[in-house]
Amino acid sequence: MRKISLSLLPCAIGLIMAVSCNESDEKPMAVFSDFSYQVTMPDGDEVASPDWTPLLPGCYPDPSIVRVDDDYYMVNSSFAFYPGVPIWHSTDLRNWERLGYVLDRPSQLSLPDSIRVSGGIYAPSISYNPHNETFYMITTLVDNGGNFYVTCKDPKKGEWSDPVWLPEVGGIDPSLFFDADGKAYIVNNDSPEGEALYDGHRTIRIHDFDWKTGRVTGESKVIVNGGVNIDEKPVWIEGPHLYYIGGKYFLMCAEGGTGPDHREVIFESASPKGPFRPCRINPILTQRGLDPSRRYPVTCAGHADLVEDKDGRWWAVFLGVRPYSEDGHDIMGRETFIHRVGWKYGQPVITARDEVLEGRPQRERESRLWTADGLVDDAFFIRNPKSGFYSTDADGTLTVEASPVRFADKKSPSAIGRWVTENAFELSVTLDEFSPQSPEDIAGLMLFQDDDCHIVFGKAVNSYGDVVARVDARSKNDRVIEFESPLDDSSQPLRLRIVADGKGSYSFEYAEGDEDYRQLPQTVPASLLSTRTAGNFTGTAMGVYAVAAE
């Protein structure tokens, strides 16, 4: 399993100890061990059919998939988290191995301070060009550059190229299509010609792409204006993919925005450049308008991609949301689902009218954040991290250099995370060493939705000089929840645990040394971190965090 590694701290083991308050030249360190993330399964519940449950639990939105011979590859959006664009491999569409990240070095991905958490990498699309036997990943770096692509010969080995920027391609969500005749095209979401007719009025454009030179040629052309029926003022036609199936060109797009009205629609033409007309059945995927009290609801379904398996059957991967409450609050963000594609009237159909998808709880595949060899392969950082701020040791500890950067600073803090994958879970860690010196210092567990919406549970010192176990929860509209409990012996390792009940409440427990856990009297509502509250496209990251004033 490939591990993520930055330049590790050049410290001997003896130097990675608690920092004395008298040694001001030494940087404050937090030493962690025994990290665990455990999904809490409902009594008697079993994992449902793979057609219904999330294929990739956690914040893995905007899936794009390609098959080459016996191998399937899939990528997802990563927004303002680094490394960028998680990539997966499968041989059966059921079991997926994580290959790492496509954009795993600074020369490929720049996420500067203050870039929005929901900026960064949008809707990557993976494709294969049989004419030069090369894989392409094309995407948008929102807020910092626009559209670009990278290439590689073998995704299993990685080594994707540096970006090739496409200034001729505006908007977002570009996708490459390589036709059998050797021609290639880019389709993307962009602004309409002239003034927009309404809020959310967008178009789909097509560009010629010369894969021999790696450049866009000619002028772009609008092939869809607004959506299936512009008279109904459809919003945000986006996420286009072009296919050639059974003698026809199909253009499949998302429509309706990525909220509860999200849906997938499809058009057909005799030519890749149109004219495209809506297929007879539209939308071909949605969960809008269904009973919000249904069991294990999936909402916001859309942004799909199609793939043909080795036996000639077609499948769709798409995003969906599993809320924990009927009012739509969720903490995982948009996840990847898979569904068998049917055909009717010569067109693909993903879900039948009013077909209900179920998103049942999933058992966790990986509970750690690091090993003695480094971080696990799905760990990530908030924006481009500063090199050398952490190290792992053979005894299983993780040492993090505490930074003066707080989440609210909208920079890259000393934080390492991975995605929350279920509504009900237990998250724990042991903080072996940390010496807070001011009320601004804290190290421990984090639940991070964005710079404004997050929870930190850790070791801190209050304004009276007492060392405490503190919960610091912050959300939109300056909503702040803080509470703490004094520690009896601050020299002891501090065990921290956050328990999510799956119904919208977080509780907090701590233990000093080998003592039993003590629960803090207050809880925090999960809605503080929900996508609806934050207004973001991401889920909740959980992990460790350390901050210390300069």
φ, ψ at 201 (rounded to 5°): -70, 115
| CA-based max dimension of the chain | 77
Structure-token pair, residue 205: 């454009």
Cα separation, 169 vs 14, in Å, equals 54
Q: Which amino acid is at 329?
A: H
Query: Tokens 């030179």 map to which residue?
Result: 213
**Cross-sheet strand order for the sheet of 299-308:** 54-56, 334-340, 314-321, 299-308
**CA end-to-end distance (rounded Å), the chain:** 37
Distance separating alpha carbons of residues 160 and 543, to the nearest angstrom: 28
Distances (CA, A) of 256 to 4, 160, 235, 450, 537: 37, 33, 5, 24, 15
For the record, the structure tokens of 433 come out as 């060493």
Strands (E), 83-237: 84-90, 97-103, 120-129, 134-142, 146-152, 164-165, 172-178, 184-190, 203-210, 215-225
Task: Give me the amino acid identity at 190.
Answer: D
Known catalytic residues? 62, 238
Give the span between the Cα atoms of 249 and 242, in whole angstroms: 7
Only one residue has tokens 């959980």, namely 542
Residue 347 pairs with which residues in a beta bridge? 344
What 3-state class would DSSP assign to 407?
helix
Beta strands 172-178 and 184-190, pairing class: antiparallel
| Per-residue DSSP letter, 408 | G
Residues 218, 131, 86, 358: is their CA dihedral positive or negative?
positive
CA dihedral 446, 450, 453, 454 (to 10 degrees): 0
Q: How many CA atoms lie within 13 A of 285 on its CB side?
A: 35
Cα(17)–Cα(31) distance, rounded to whole angstroms? 8
Kindly give, in sequence order, each residue whose CB lies less than 8 Å from that of residue 488, ignoring residues fewer than 6 positions away: 512
What is the three-class DSSP state of 18? coil
